[in-house]
Amino acid sequence: MSSKFGGWAGYILRVNLTTSKISKETTEKYHDYIGGMGIGYKVLWDNHVDGIKATDEENRLVISAGPLSGSGAICSARTTITSRNPVIRGHLITDGHFGGHFSPELKFAGYDAIIIEGKSPTPVWLKILDDKVTIEPADSLWGLGIFDTFAAISKMMGQQAQVAAIGPAGENLVAQSTFQTQGGHSAGGHGSVLGSKKFKGIGIIGTGRVEIAESTTNEQLRALDDHILGIIGANNQGVVPHDPQSWAEFNAGISRWRGGPGVTWGAADEPVMLEETPWDDHQKVGMRTSMAEMYFGREEANKIFKRPGGCHSCPIRCFCELKNPKMKTEYNLPTEYITNTCMGFLDPWYSMGKPGNGEKKTDIMTIGGYYMDNLAIWSAYGQLSHIMREFTKRSFWEVLLPAEEFAAINWEQYANLDAHFMQDYYTRIGLAKSYNGSNYFGRFLGTGLHNFINDEGELYNIQDVLDDVESPRMAGLTFALESDAEENLLGKTYSVFLDEGVHVFNRSMVGGLHHASEAAGQVGALLATVFNRDPQCHSHINLINCGLPYAKIAEVAESMWGENAFDPVKHYKAMNVAKAKFAKWCLVKNVLHDSLTVCNWMFPLLVSPDVNKNYLGDSSIESQMFSLVTGIETSEQELDDKAERVLQLHRALSVLQMKEPDQRNNHDALCEWVYDMDPDKIFGEEGTIKMDRADIQIGLDLFYAEMGWDNATGVPTRATLEKFNLGFAADKLEGLGLLPA
């Protein structure tokens, strides 16, 4: 047990499933990488093996907490999962995350991270009872849905166990699968990595503690806690209410601060009717956020919302604990409850064509959410669901699927927005080859899209691809909708790079759209270039969607990064240095949060609901938390530098794994539709989010300059890598001819 510092538990578990050997290592050598994501990427770098697949035995998976996890600091309970990802071309590294109570329990048990390596011949699970760590047989668990898995492991260990597991999707090596913990929290992209290792899950009971630095007092911890409560808003740092409230100067439709008159936790045992939620009433912070209002509309939400929920140490409670009795009465599910905060509800909605609010939509989202989680399916931030919707709209399935299989799918249910459709739909995706019957449909949707397209984004014959035909035929799909004429696409060969509807944003990575060019224009677009999957970055969202009027947000952005850092919504201007700085700042903070661990859906707190502070927040909260908990006095810049170290390492590792010296053109390219949408408008005209090719290349120039990356290639230079003590990475890349001269 590390006694020098507070925060870190001091040990990392290394579990080798081939040899069944479990060993402990010190966390100290990762302190410069903070923890969480930092540990994940450092381990993956150190253990890099060329050209392997995510599901190969040599691939490692790291589950990591950070020094703040379990310390009680606000919003500090995230867990980062790092490994190669089979959805991504080249099976490059990605990091997924989940919240809940898992990483605190890991810390209470005495560990900062778990490294899973090797491969077990038979299904196993990992049992952690403080210092007693054993590999247990999982024969009775293999095949169980997620919820039964949680119950079974908890039954074996004790009701207070925190459990994380894969579902049937991971077991069936479906690439689009998750690793989940209790409470509706799921991390995407790595379910099949664990499935290939025959690793079902982890149960932890930790009766130990997260140490707080000796020099830190309760008064200091509470003072910082109070300070944060005086700045924090609602989910995505909405700092004004959605509807007018008497204590607020402003309100905004984009804000998730919905708690107020008219909102009811209607499914509670005694319905809770909310009153106004003044910003300085600390006993009402947990009543501000209602995602259910956003997703289901007020009428439905007031019926099905029982209470909000979420992660350890977070007062915001962005999760929706919903009760839809029809889950049992109409759809034969064992429960009438479902919990989620976003994609678990939105994926079914996207899949079914985005119907309007009402009972059908409610059923689709709750029943779909149940199946997705129980099977533990990942949509790659909606990519799977957008493909489903658009391909159905375009009548592509009839072309792509064998006639018999197409006929076996109940399209009538789909057309009627009948939520019964969810069962077979998700079961096909989750079971893949194990599905009883022809299942190209489910297998296609569950496998990374990149496997099915050529360099132009045009679809191969998916049956050929799934049958491992060496030279698959083309699918022969065309743009044939009337609306395609508006985008000058009618008659052209269908390509996912040309179709705005499927929301592929990063062309090189076939990555999903997640707060991209619609969010602060070039800033959002640049964020989408760096990671190997959708960026999962909300650093910019937590400012630009905070609900304050545009002028106020622009003022904050200008003070942070320079003039014109933030353009008016849907009325963009040319690229500039301020935007490049803004983009870099977002990424550094995002990586910081995933390393500490702190929630990037709330932090950074640049703004606040406090009119007396002119709505300004405090960007140094993270470093204050870090200093108090660990006892290591660290300034905001010093902590950001550690985070940037992890970000630079991520870039270097992507280069290494890709063996690609030209990141600009082969990693950082955006889809054609991003530039060619709204053909009747030009870039910079009001009413469009379209980007400009030359402008984005300038964007990359300026962004690379901020990051210290080679202008031509976008690869970190030796000087930059050495600045962050990553000289070893420079050496490695140089040895392979991947380092810029």
Partner 1 sequence: MITRRALLANGAKVAVGTVYYGTLASFLTGCGSSDDDDSKETPIIKVLAGGLMVVNPVICVGCRRCEIACSWSHGTSAVSPSTARIKVDKNLNFGPLGVQANYVEQRGEQGDRTIVPSTCRQCDVCMTVCPEKAIYINETTGARIVDESLCVGCGYCADKCPQQVITIDKITRKSLKCDLCEGNPNCAQVCPTGAIKFYTWESAVAAVEQHEKYLTLI
Partner 2 sequence: MIELVDYIRLLSRDGRLSTADQIIAVAGLELEIEDINAAYQTLIEDEQYADIVIIEAKDDFYFYSKRYIVKSYAVQWIGVNNGDLLDTIANEIRRYGALGELVAANNFTHPPYNLEKAELDELIGKFEDVEGCEDICIQTANDGSKQFFSTHFLTTTYATVLGNIDPFEYSA
Judged by beta carbon distances under 5 to 8 A according to partner kind, the member of partner 2, partner 1, none in contact with residue 728 is none
Nearer to partner 2, 275 or 330 (CB): 275
Q: Which of 551, 719, 735, 741 binds partner 2 (CB under 8 A)?
A: 551
Does the footprint of partner 1 cover residue 317 (CB under 8 A)?
yes
Backbone angles phi, psi at 522, to 5 degrees: -65, -30
CA–CA dist 185, 178 (Å, integer):
10
Q: Does 307 bind partner 1 (CB under 8 A)?
A: yes
Contacted entry of partner 2, partner 1, none for residue 321, CB cut-off 5 to 8 Å set by kind: partner 1
Residue 549 binding partner 2, by CB under 8 A: yes
* Binds partner 1 by CB under 8 A, chosen from 50, 269, 404, 470: 269
DSSP 286: G
| Residue 443 sits in the site that holds partner 2 (CB under 8 A) | no
If one asks whether residue 373 binds partner 1 (CB under 8 A), the answer comes out as no
Member of 268, 574, 698, 712 binding partner 1 (CB under 8 A)? 268
Quick one: which of 122, 207, 454, 711 contacts partner 1 (CB under 8 A)? 207
Minimum distance of partner 1 from residue 249's CB (angstroms): 23
Contact 375, 145 (CB under 8 A): yes
The residue (of 563 and 686) whose beta carbon lies closer to partner 2 is: 686
Answer for the pair 608, 233: CB distance below 8 angstroms, yes or no: yes
C-beta separation of 103 from 81 below 8 A: no
DSSP characters over 11-54: EEEEEETTTTEEEEEESGGGGGG-STHHHHHHHHHHT--TT--T
Choose among partner 1, partner 2, none what residue 657 binds, the Cβ cut-off being 5 to 8 Å by kind: none
Helix (H, G, I), strand (E, B) or coil at 224: helix
Q: Does 344 bind partner 1 (CB under 8 A)?
A: no
Determine, following the binding rule CB under 8 A, whether residue 280 of this chain makes contact with partner 2. yes
Of 568-587, binders to partner 2 (CB under 8 A) are 568-571
Among 85, 235, 339, 532, binds partner 1 (CB under 8 A): 339
Contact between 214 and partner 1 by CB under 8 A: the answer reads: yes
* DSSP letter (8 states) at residue 79: E
Q: At what angle do helices 577-596 and 693-707 cross, to 10 degrees?
A: 60
Nearest to 36 by CA among 90, 79, 6: 79
Give the residue among 430, 322, 422, 416 at the shortest CA–CA distance from 376: 430
Count of Cβ atoms closer than 10 Å to residue 571 Cβ: 13
Three-point CA angle 710, 505, 507, nearest 5°: 60
Residues 648-687, one symbol each (x = binds partner 2 by CB under 8 A, - = not), give --------------------------------------xx
Cα 695–Cα 701–Cα 704 angle in degrees, nearest 5:
135
Stretch that binds partner 1, among 205-213, 460-468, 565-573, 587-595 (CB under 8 A): 205-213
DSSP state of 588: H
Distance CA 58, CA 40 (A): 15
Q: Is 249 in the site for partner 2 (CB under 8 A)?
A: yes
Picked from partner 2, partner 1, none, the partner binding residue 515 (CB below 5 to 8 A depending on kind) is partner 2
**Among 394, 552, 651, 732, contact with partner 2 (rule: CB under 8 A):** 552
Residue 619 binds which entry of partner 1, partner 2, none, with Cβ cut-offs from 5 to 8 Å by kind? none
Tell which phi-psi region holds residue 158, choosing left (phi > 0), alpha (psi between -120 and 50) or beta.
left
SS3 assignment, position 238: strand
Contact 608, 229 (CB under 8 A): no
Rounded Cα gap, residues 377 and 357, in angstroms: 24
Binder among 182, 324, 379, 447 for partner 1 (CB under 8 A): 182
Considering the rule CB under 8 A, would residue 507 count as an interface residue with partner 2?
no
Kindly state whether residue 728 participates in binding partner 1, applying the rule CB under 8 A.
Answer: no
Residues that bind partner 1 (CB under 8 A): 70-72, 101, 104-105, 108, 147, 150-151, 154-155, 159-161, 182-183, 207-212, 214, 216-218, 221-222, 225, 268-270, 272, 282-287, 306-317, 321, 323, 334-335, 337, 339
Residues that bind partner 2 (CB under 8 A): 243-244, 246-254, 276, 278, 280, 294, 342-343, 346, 381, 503, 513-516, 518-519, 545, 549-552, 554, 568-571, 611, 686-687
